[in-house]
Structure 1
């Protein structure tokens, strides 16, 4: 997972403002009691950070992949 994907999932699930606040304050006990931001800064895999946060926040499995994005038309095929 790329960092851009991580932040898209955060914003999809928690909203842009709350996701930033959550990242700076929520302690992930499964990741050595680091906040989300600290875990990412310590080069923890974004997927591992996301999964730990989802577990803590009781995000159901069906929402852990984020909102489905619309399929974009390929202008070369038109």
Structure 2
């Protein structure tokens, strides 16, 4: 997954104004206690980060 696709999915589910804020503030255990933004900044693959976000948001399997 490309980073642009990650952000498109985030904006689709959280809205364009809230997606980046959520990614900066929401700490996820699945990402080692980091926020999605911190995980991306440290080099974690966007697909791995998306899967953690998908799980946290309890999105349907079709969105995985």
Structure with bigger gyration radius: 1
Structure with greater strand share of residues = 1
Q: 2:2 corresponds to which residue? A: 2
Structure 2: 5+ residue runs without aligned partners? none
* Aligned equivalent of 1:29: 29
Give the RMSD, CA atoms, in angstroms: 1.0
Deviation at residue 43 of structure 1 after TM alignment: 0.4
C-alpha distance in structure 2 between counterparts of 1:60 and 1:49, whole Å: 16
Shift of 1:21: 1.1
Instruction: Spell out the pairing of 1:37-76 with structure 2 (5 A cutoff).
Output: 37-62=37-62, 64=63
CA distance in 2 between partners of 1:31 and 1:53 (Å): 9
Using CA pairs below 8 Å that are at least 6 residues apart, which structure has the higher relative contact order? Answer: 1
Deviation of 1:44 after TM superposition, in Å, equals 0.3
Between Structure 1 and Structure 2, how many residues are aligned?
64
1:11 correspondence with 2:11: yes
4+ residue runs of structure 1 moved beyond 2 angstroms?
none
